[in-house]
Amino acid sequence: MADRILGIETSCDETAAAVVDHATHVRSSVVASQIDQHARYGGVVPEIASRAHVEMLTPVIAQALVEAGVADDEIDAVAATTGPGLVGSLLVGVSAAKALALVWDVPFVAVNHLEGHLYAAFLEEPDLQLPLVVLLVSGGHTMLVHMEDHGRYHLLGSTIDDAAGEAFDKVARFLGLGYPGGPVIDRLAAQGNPSAVPLPRAMLDRTGDDRHDFSFSGLKTAVVNHVRRHPGVAAADVAAGFQEAVVDVLVTKARRAATEVGAKGLCLGGGVAANSALRDRVVKACDEDGIRAFVPSRAMCTDNAAMIAAAGWWRLRADGPSPLDTGATPNLGLPVAG
Ligand code: KG4
Ligand code: ZN
Protein backbone atom coordinates (compact mmCIF):
# COMPACT_ATOMS: atom_id res chain seq x y z
CA MET A 1 0.00 0.00 0.00
CA ALA A 2 1.51 3.29 -1.10
CA ASP A 3 1.14 5.65 1.83
CA ARG A 4 3.66 8.40 1.28
CA ILE A 5 3.13 10.41 -1.89
CA LEU A 6 5.34 13.05 -3.49
CA GLY A 7 3.00 15.48 -5.27
CA ILE A 8 4.09 17.79 -8.09
CA GLU A 9 2.07 20.75 -9.42
CA THR A 10 3.13 22.89 -12.42
CA SER A 11 -0.16 23.57 -14.25
CA CYS A 12 0.03 27.37 -14.22
CA ASP A 13 2.33 29.86 -12.50
CA GLU A 14 3.17 28.04 -9.26
CA THR A 15 5.98 25.48 -9.10
CA ALA A 16 5.05 23.22 -6.20
CA ALA A 17 6.07 19.95 -4.55
CA ALA A 18 4.78 18.31 -1.37
CA VAL A 19 5.12 15.11 0.64
CA VAL A 20 1.84 13.82 2.11
CA ASP A 21 1.20 10.68 4.18
CA HIS A 22 -2.14 8.77 3.99
CA ALA A 23 -3.74 11.70 2.05
CA THR A 24 -4.16 13.48 5.37
CA HIS A 25 -0.79 14.37 6.91
CA VAL A 26 1.17 17.10 5.10
CA ARG A 27 4.88 16.54 5.88
CA SER A 28 5.94 19.40 3.59
CA SER A 29 4.40 21.73 1.02
CA VAL A 30 6.69 24.01 -0.97
CA VAL A 31 5.25 26.59 -3.40
CA ALA A 32 7.47 28.84 -5.55
CA SER A 33 5.30 31.54 -7.07
CA GLN A 34 6.21 33.15 -10.39
CA ILE A 35 3.82 36.07 -9.93
CA ASP A 36 6.64 38.65 -10.00
CA GLN A 37 7.78 37.42 -13.41
CA HIS A 38 4.28 37.74 -14.92
CA ALA A 39 2.97 40.84 -13.12
CA ARG A 40 4.43 43.39 -15.55
CA TYR A 41 2.51 41.68 -18.42
CA GLY A 42 -0.80 41.79 -16.54
CA GLY A 43 -1.26 38.01 -16.68
CA VAL A 44 0.51 34.66 -17.01
CA VAL A 45 2.82 34.41 -20.05
CA PRO A 46 2.92 30.68 -20.95
CA GLU A 47 6.50 30.69 -22.32
CA ILE A 48 7.86 32.40 -19.20
CA ALA A 49 5.90 29.99 -17.01
CA SER A 50 7.39 26.85 -18.65
CA ARG A 51 10.94 28.18 -18.41
CA ALA A 52 10.50 29.13 -14.76
CA HIS A 53 9.14 25.64 -13.98
CA VAL A 54 12.22 24.06 -15.61
CA GLU A 55 14.48 26.22 -13.44
CA MET A 56 12.56 25.88 -10.19
CA LEU A 57 11.20 22.33 -10.12
CA THR A 58 14.36 20.43 -9.11
CA PRO A 59 15.18 22.72 -6.15
CA VAL A 60 11.51 22.80 -5.09
CA ILE A 61 11.31 18.98 -5.04
CA ALA A 62 14.61 18.79 -3.14
CA GLN A 63 13.29 21.28 -0.58
CA ALA A 64 10.03 19.35 -0.17
CA LEU A 65 11.98 16.15 0.59
CA VAL A 66 14.30 17.91 3.05
CA GLU A 67 11.44 19.67 4.87
CA ALA A 68 9.54 16.38 5.05
CA GLY A 69 12.62 14.71 6.53
CA VAL A 70 12.36 11.73 4.16
CA ALA A 71 14.90 10.08 1.87
CA ASP A 72 14.26 9.20 -1.80
CA ASP A 73 13.65 5.55 -0.95
CA GLU A 74 10.92 6.48 1.55
CA ILE A 75 8.57 7.79 -1.18
CA ASP A 76 5.90 5.23 -2.19
CA ALA A 77 4.45 6.96 -5.28
CA VAL A 78 4.83 10.15 -7.34
CA ALA A 79 1.70 12.10 -8.35
CA ALA A 80 1.64 15.01 -10.80
CA THR A 81 -1.00 17.28 -12.31
CA THR A 82 -1.58 16.21 -15.94
CA GLY A 83 -4.31 18.81 -16.65
CA PRO A 84 -6.08 21.12 -17.05
CA GLY A 85 -3.51 23.88 -17.45
CA LEU A 86 -0.86 25.31 -19.77
CA VAL A 87 0.58 22.49 -21.86
CA GLY A 88 4.23 23.61 -21.64
CA SER A 89 3.98 24.04 -17.87
CA LEU A 90 2.18 20.74 -17.29
CA LEU A 91 4.81 18.85 -19.32
CA VAL A 92 7.60 19.97 -16.99
CA GLY A 93 5.90 18.45 -13.91
CA VAL A 94 4.62 15.34 -15.70
CA SER A 95 8.07 14.53 -17.17
CA ALA A 96 9.80 15.02 -13.82
CA ALA A 97 7.24 12.85 -12.00
CA LYS A 98 7.53 10.04 -14.53
CA ALA A 99 11.35 10.16 -14.43
CA LEU A 100 11.39 10.00 -10.61
CA ALA A 101 8.84 7.16 -10.57
CA LEU A 102 11.02 5.21 -13.00
CA VAL A 103 14.25 5.84 -11.13
CA TRP A 104 12.75 5.10 -7.71
CA ASP A 105 10.73 2.18 -9.10
CA VAL A 106 7.43 3.41 -7.59
CA PRO A 107 4.01 4.09 -9.18
CA PHE A 108 3.31 7.26 -11.15
CA VAL A 109 -0.16 8.76 -10.63
CA ALA A 110 -1.79 11.25 -13.02
CA VAL A 111 -3.90 13.81 -11.14
CA ASN A 112 -6.61 16.14 -12.42
CA HIS A 113 -5.90 19.65 -11.07
CA LEU A 114 -9.61 20.25 -10.35
CA GLU A 115 -9.84 17.02 -8.36
CA GLY A 116 -6.80 18.29 -6.45
CA HIS A 117 -8.69 21.45 -5.45
CA LEU A 118 -11.61 19.27 -4.27
CA TYR A 119 -9.24 17.33 -1.98
CA ALA A 120 -7.54 20.38 -0.46
CA ALA A 121 -10.21 20.62 2.26
CA PHE A 122 -9.68 16.97 3.30
CA LEU A 123 -6.08 17.73 4.25
CA GLU A 124 -7.27 20.07 6.96
CA GLU A 125 -10.54 18.30 7.87
CA PRO A 126 -9.84 14.56 7.55
CA ASP A 127 -13.28 13.74 8.99
CA LEU A 128 -15.12 15.74 6.31
CA GLN A 129 -18.50 14.11 5.74
CA LEU A 130 -19.96 13.39 2.32
CA PRO A 131 -22.02 14.30 0.37
CA LEU A 132 -20.67 17.79 -0.06
CA VAL A 133 -21.19 20.67 -2.42
CA VAL A 134 -17.88 22.25 -3.40
CA LEU A 135 -17.73 25.76 -4.81
CA LEU A 136 -14.54 25.72 -6.88
CA VAL A 137 -13.58 29.25 -7.86
CA SER A 138 -10.22 30.04 -9.44
CA GLY A 139 -8.64 32.08 -12.22
CA GLY A 140 -9.69 29.52 -14.81
CA HIS A 141 -12.77 27.85 -13.30
CA THR A 142 -16.06 28.54 -11.55
CA MET A 143 -17.88 25.32 -10.71
CA LEU A 144 -20.45 23.92 -8.34
CA VAL A 145 -19.60 20.26 -7.78
CA HIS A 146 -21.71 17.70 -5.96
CA MET A 147 -19.16 15.37 -4.35
CA GLU A 148 -21.29 12.33 -3.64
CA ASP A 149 -18.42 10.04 -2.67
CA HIS A 150 -14.67 9.81 -3.20
CA GLY A 151 -14.07 10.03 -6.95
CA ARG A 152 -17.80 10.41 -7.61
CA TYR A 153 -18.61 13.93 -8.78
CA HIS A 154 -21.52 15.61 -10.49
CA LEU A 155 -20.98 18.96 -12.12
CA LEU A 156 -24.04 20.98 -11.10
CA GLY A 157 -23.09 24.23 -12.79
CA SER A 158 -20.23 26.29 -14.17
CA THR A 159 -19.59 29.70 -15.69
CA ILE A 160 -20.89 30.36 -19.18
CA ASP A 161 -18.25 33.05 -19.79
CA ASP A 162 -15.55 34.47 -17.45
CA ALA A 163 -14.34 32.60 -14.37
CA ALA A 164 -14.80 34.43 -11.05
CA GLY A 165 -11.02 34.96 -10.63
CA GLU A 166 -10.78 36.16 -14.21
CA ALA A 167 -13.44 38.79 -13.44
CA PHE A 168 -11.42 39.94 -10.38
CA ASP A 169 -8.27 40.13 -12.53
CA LYS A 170 -9.97 42.00 -15.40
CA VAL A 171 -11.70 44.55 -13.14
CA ALA A 172 -8.43 45.13 -11.24
CA ARG A 173 -6.59 45.66 -14.50
CA PHE A 174 -9.26 48.16 -15.65
CA LEU A 175 -8.94 50.05 -12.35
CA GLY A 176 -5.13 50.05 -12.73
CA LEU A 177 -4.62 47.94 -9.60
CA GLY A 178 -2.17 45.40 -11.06
CA TYR A 179 -2.06 41.58 -11.23
CA PRO A 180 -3.31 39.33 -9.71
CA GLY A 181 -6.46 41.33 -9.06
CA GLY A 182 -8.18 39.24 -6.39
CA PRO A 183 -6.00 40.08 -3.39
CA VAL A 184 -5.86 43.83 -4.24
CA ILE A 185 -9.63 44.11 -4.69
CA ASP A 186 -10.13 42.14 -1.47
CA ARG A 187 -7.99 44.68 0.46
CA LEU A 188 -9.41 47.77 -1.26
CA ALA A 189 -13.02 46.59 -0.85
CA ALA A 190 -12.60 46.60 2.92
CA GLN A 191 -12.37 50.42 2.75
CA GLY A 192 -15.34 50.91 0.38
CA ASN A 193 -19.12 50.97 0.57
CA PRO A 194 -20.55 47.88 -1.17
CA SER A 195 -23.88 49.63 -1.84
CA ALA A 196 -22.48 52.83 -3.38
CA VAL A 197 -22.25 51.43 -6.91
CA PRO A 198 -25.32 49.48 -8.12
CA LEU A 199 -24.19 46.39 -10.05
CA PRO A 200 -26.09 43.43 -11.55
CA ARG A 201 -26.37 39.87 -10.18
CA ALA A 202 -26.51 37.66 -13.29
CA MET A 203 -28.57 34.45 -13.63
CA LEU A 204 -29.90 34.49 -10.06
CA ASP A 205 -33.53 33.95 -11.09
CA ARG A 206 -32.93 30.91 -13.33
CA THR A 207 -34.98 27.84 -12.48
CA GLY A 208 -34.21 25.54 -15.43
CA ASP A 209 -31.24 23.27 -16.20
CA ASP A 210 -28.95 26.30 -16.11
CA ARG A 211 -30.02 27.30 -12.55
CA HIS A 212 -26.59 26.48 -11.11
CA ASP A 213 -24.64 28.27 -13.87
CA PHE A 214 -22.81 31.59 -13.52
CA SER A 215 -22.01 34.56 -15.75
CA PHE A 216 -19.53 37.31 -14.86
CA SER A 217 -18.75 39.10 -18.11
CA GLY A 218 -21.82 41.39 -17.86
CA LEU A 219 -20.74 42.44 -14.36
CA LYS A 220 -17.29 43.38 -15.63
CA THR A 221 -18.90 45.46 -18.43
CA ALA A 222 -21.23 47.13 -15.90
CA VAL A 223 -18.18 48.15 -13.81
CA VAL A 224 -16.46 49.61 -16.87
CA ASN A 225 -19.60 51.53 -17.93
CA HIS A 226 -20.19 52.91 -14.43
CA VAL A 227 -16.60 54.15 -14.04
CA ARG A 228 -16.67 55.77 -17.51
CA ARG A 229 -19.92 57.60 -16.64
CA HIS A 230 -18.72 58.57 -13.14
CA PRO A 231 -14.97 59.23 -13.46
CA GLY A 232 -14.81 60.64 -9.90
CA VAL A 233 -16.11 57.46 -8.24
CA ALA A 234 -13.92 56.12 -5.43
CA ALA A 235 -11.98 52.99 -6.48
CA ALA A 236 -12.69 51.46 -3.04
CA ASP A 237 -16.47 51.77 -3.62
CA VAL A 238 -16.16 50.15 -7.05
CA ALA A 239 -14.05 47.32 -5.61
CA ALA A 240 -16.50 46.80 -2.73
CA GLY A 241 -19.56 46.86 -5.02
CA PHE A 242 -17.98 44.47 -7.51
CA GLN A 243 -16.83 42.04 -4.82
CA GLU A 244 -20.25 42.12 -3.16
CA ALA A 245 -21.94 41.30 -6.49
CA VAL A 246 -19.63 38.32 -7.14
CA VAL A 247 -19.92 36.99 -3.58
CA ASP A 248 -23.73 37.43 -3.55
CA VAL A 249 -24.14 35.29 -6.64
CA LEU A 250 -21.60 32.65 -5.58
CA VAL A 251 -23.04 32.20 -2.09
CA THR A 252 -26.72 32.33 -3.12
CA LYS A 253 -26.19 29.66 -5.77
CA ALA A 254 -23.92 27.47 -3.64
CA ARG A 255 -26.37 27.30 -0.72
CA ARG A 256 -29.28 26.60 -3.06
CA ALA A 257 -27.29 23.74 -4.60
CA ALA A 258 -26.40 22.36 -1.15
CA THR A 259 -30.07 22.37 -0.14
CA GLU A 260 -31.15 20.77 -3.42
CA VAL A 261 -28.77 17.78 -3.18
CA GLY A 262 -29.08 17.40 0.61
CA ALA A 263 -25.38 18.08 1.21
CA LYS A 264 -23.99 17.79 4.74
CA GLY A 265 -21.64 20.65 4.08
CA LEU A 266 -20.49 23.35 1.74
CA CYS A 267 -16.81 23.50 0.91
CA LEU A 268 -14.71 26.20 -0.76
CA GLY A 269 -11.76 25.64 -3.09
CA GLY A 270 -9.60 27.51 -5.63
CA GLY A 271 -7.77 30.84 -5.47
CA VAL A 272 -10.91 33.01 -5.14
CA ALA A 273 -11.78 31.05 -1.99
CA ALA A 274 -9.03 33.15 -0.36
CA ASN A 275 -11.44 36.12 -0.58
CA SER A 276 -12.33 37.45 2.89
CA ALA A 277 -15.93 38.43 2.07
CA LEU A 278 -16.64 35.07 0.41
CA ARG A 279 -15.21 33.15 3.36
CA ASP A 280 -17.29 35.15 5.87
CA ARG A 281 -20.50 34.82 3.88
CA VAL A 282 -20.14 31.06 3.37
CA VAL A 283 -19.65 30.50 7.10
CA LYS A 284 -22.72 32.67 7.87
CA ALA A 285 -24.88 30.96 5.21
CA CYS A 286 -23.99 27.45 6.42
CA ASP A 287 -24.71 28.49 9.98
CA GLU A 288 -28.19 29.67 8.95
CA ASP A 289 -28.84 26.51 6.91
CA GLY A 290 -27.59 24.12 9.61
CA ILE A 291 -24.87 22.53 7.49
CA ARG A 292 -21.09 22.55 7.95
CA ALA A 293 -18.84 25.09 6.24
CA PHE A 294 -15.40 23.93 5.15
CA VAL A 295 -13.20 26.88 4.40
CA PRO A 296 -9.61 25.71 3.86
CA SER A 297 -6.68 27.94 4.83
CA ARG A 298 -5.68 30.42 2.12
CA ALA A 299 -2.52 28.41 1.35
CA MET A 300 -4.66 25.35 0.67
CA CYS A 301 -7.14 27.29 -1.53
CA THR A 302 -4.50 28.53 -3.98
CA ASP A 303 -2.46 26.17 -6.15
CA ASN A 304 -0.23 23.79 -4.17
CA ALA A 305 1.11 20.25 -4.47
CA ALA A 306 -0.23 18.86 -1.17
CA MET A 307 -3.72 18.76 -2.69
CA ILE A 308 -2.28 16.93 -5.73
CA ALA A 309 -0.62 14.33 -3.48
CA ALA A 310 -3.91 13.86 -1.55
CA ALA A 311 -5.99 13.43 -4.72
CA GLY A 312 -3.22 11.14 -6.05
CA TRP A 313 -3.52 8.88 -2.99
CA TRP A 314 -7.25 8.39 -3.62
CA ARG A 315 -6.72 7.89 -7.38
CA LEU A 316 -4.04 5.29 -6.78
CA ARG A 317 -6.34 3.41 -4.40
CA ALA A 318 -9.21 3.51 -6.88
CA ASP A 319 -7.47 3.04 -10.25
CA GLY A 320 -3.91 1.84 -9.57
CA PRO A 321 -0.82 3.41 -11.17
CA SER A 322 -1.15 5.51 -14.34
CA PRO A 323 0.66 4.38 -17.50
CA LEU A 324 4.03 6.01 -18.11
CA ASP A 325 2.89 7.17 -21.56
CA THR A 326 0.26 9.45 -19.95
CA GLY A 327 0.73 12.94 -21.40
CA ALA A 328 -0.36 16.45 -20.47
CA THR A 329 -4.01 17.30 -21.27
CA PRO A 330 -4.50 21.10 -21.27
CA ASN A 331 -8.32 20.98 -21.41
CA LEU A 332 -8.88 17.99 -19.10
CA GLY A 333 -12.35 18.15 -17.49
CA LEU A 334 -13.39 17.00 -14.03
CA PRO A 335 -14.13 13.24 -14.17
CA VAL A 336 -17.89 13.28 -13.59
CA ALA A 337 -20.12 10.34 -12.74
CA GLY A 338 -23.25 9.59 -14.82
O1 KG4 B 1 -6.49 28.59 -7.92
P2 KG4 B 1 -5.56 29.70 -8.34
O3 KG4 B 1 -4.36 29.97 -7.46
O4 KG4 B 1 -5.01 29.46 -9.79
C5 KG4 B 1 -5.82 28.94 -10.80
O6 KG4 B 1 -5.88 27.67 -10.90
O7 KG4 B 1 -6.45 29.78 -11.50
O8 KG4 B 1 -6.46 31.04 -8.49
C9 KG4 B 1 -5.94 32.28 -8.91
C10 KG4 B 1 -7.08 33.29 -8.94
C11 KG4 B 1 -6.69 34.64 -9.54
O12 KG4 B 1 -7.67 35.01 -10.49
C13 KG4 B 1 -6.68 35.58 -8.34
O14 KG4 B 1 -7.03 36.93 -8.66
C15 KG4 B 1 -7.75 34.94 -7.45
O16 KG4 B 1 -7.54 33.55 -7.61
N17 KG4 B 1 -7.60 35.33 -6.05
C18 KG4 B 1 -8.54 36.02 -5.35
C19 KG4 B 1 -8.00 36.28 -4.07
N20 KG4 B 1 -6.74 35.68 -4.01
C21 KG4 B 1 -6.53 35.12 -5.23
N22 KG4 B 1 -9.76 36.48 -5.73
C23 KG4 B 1 -10.46 37.18 -4.80
N24 KG4 B 1 -10.00 37.46 -3.56
C25 KG4 B 1 -8.79 37.04 -3.14
N26 KG4 B 1 -8.36 37.32 -1.92
ZN1 ZN C 1 -5.93 25.98 -9.39
pLDDT digits (tens, 9 = 90+) for 235-262: 999 999 999 999 999 999 999 999 999 9
Q: How far is the CA of 229 from the centre of ligand 2 (A)?
A: 35
pLDDT tens column, 163-179: 999 999 999 999 999 88
Burial profile 254-265: b = 16 or more Cβ within 10 angstroms, e = fewer: bbbbbeebebeb
Nearest atom in ligand 1 to the alpha carbon of residue 243 is: 23
Residue 38 pLDDT more than 90?
no
The pLDDT-based confidence of 180 (bands split at 50, 70, 90) is confident
The pLDDT-based confidence of 9 (bands split at 50, 70, 90) is very high
Q: Cis before residue 180, ω within 30 degrees of 0?
A: yes
The pLDDT-based confidence of 34 (bands split at 50, 70, 90) is confident
Write down the mean pLDDT value for the chain. 95
Non-local CB neighbours of 160 within 8 Å, separated by 6+ positions: 203, 210, 213, 214, 215
Residue 270 CB–ligand 1 contact under 6 Å: yes
Task: Kindly identify the ligand whose nearest atom is closest to the C-alpha of 239.
Answer: 1
pLDDT tens column, 191-244: 999 999 999 999 999 999 999 999 999 999 999 999 999 999 999 999 999 999
pLDDT tens column, 107-135: 999 999 999 999 998 899 878 889 999 99
Q: How far is the CA of 270 from the centre of ligand 1 (A)?
A: 7
Non-local CB neighbours of 317 within 8 Å, separated by 6+ positions: none
Taking Cα atoms as reference points, which of 72, 70, 82 lies closest to residue 26? 70
Which residue's alpha carbon is nearest to atom 7 within ligand 1?
139
- What pLDDT is recorded for position 128? 85
Which residue's alpha carbon is nearest to atom 19 within ligand 1?
182
Q: How far is the CA of 105 from the centre of ligand 2 (A)?
A: 29
Q: How far is the CA of 185 from the centre of ligand 1 (A)?
A: 11
Q: How far is the CA of 299 from the centre of ligand 1 (A)?
A: 11
Q: How far is the CA of 310 from the centre of ligand 2 (A)?
A: 15
Q: How far apart are alpha carbons 137 and 164 in whole angstroms?
A: 6
Q: How far is the CA of 240 from the centre of ligand 1 (A)?
A: 17
Task: Kindly identify the ligand whose nearest atom is closest to the C-alpha of 182.
Answer: 1
- What pLDDT is recorded for position 246? 98
Task: Kindly identify the ligand whose nearest atom is closest to the C-alpha of 296.
Answer: 1
Residue 169 CB–ligand 1 contact under 6 Å: yes
Percent of the chain with pLDDT over 90: 87
Asked if 240 and 193 touch (Cβ cutoff 8 Å), the reply is yes
Task: Kindly identify the ligand whose nearest atom is closest to the C-alpha of 246.
Answer: 1
The pLDDT-based confidence of 1 (bands split at 50, 70, 90) is low
Q: How far apart are alpha carbons 238 and 260 in whole angstroms?
A: 33
pLDDT tens column, 290-315: 999 999 999 999 999 999 999 999 99
Query: Taking ligand 2, which is a single-atom ion, which protein residues have CB atoms under 5 Å away?
Result: 138, 303
Which of 302, 303, 307 gets mutated to test ligand 1 (max ligand atoms within 8 A of its CB)? 302
3-state helix/strand/coil string of the chain: CCCEEEEEECCCCEEEEEEEECCCEEEEEEEEECHHHHHCCCCCCHHHHHHHHHHHHHHHHHHHHHHHCCCHHHCCEEEEEEECCCHHHHHHHHHHHHHHHHHHCCCEEEEEHHHHHHHHHHHHCCCCCCCEEEEEECCCCEEEEEEEECCEEEEEEEECCCCHHHHHHHHHHHCCCCCCHHHHHHHHHCCCCCCCCCCCCCCCCCCCCCCCCECCHHHHHHHHHHHHHCCCCCHHHHHHHHHHHHHHHHHHHHHHHHHHHCCCEEEEECHHHHCHHHHHHHHHHHHHHCCEEECCCHHHHCCCCHHHHHHHHHHHHHHCCCCCCCCCCCCCCCCECC
Task: Kindly identify the ligand whose nearest atom is closest to the C-alpha of 271.
Answer: 1
Higher model confidence: residue 144 or residue 121?
A: 144
Residue 337 pLDDT more than 70?
yes
Residue 338 pLDDT more than 80?
no
Which residue's alpha carbon is nearest to atom 8 within ligand 1?
271
Q: How far is the CA of 35 from the centre of ligand 2 (A)?
A: 14
Residue 182 CB–ligand 1 contact under 6 Å: yes
- What pLDDT is recorded for position 55? 94
pLDDT tens column, 49-71: 899 999 999 999 999 999 999 99
Q: How far apart are alpha carbons 282 and 157 in whole angstroms?
A: 18
Residue 272 CB–ligand 1 contact under 6 Å: yes
Taking Cα atoms as reference points, which of 213, 194, 200, 216 lies closest to residue 139? 216
Residue 302 CB–ligand 1 contact under 6 Å: yes
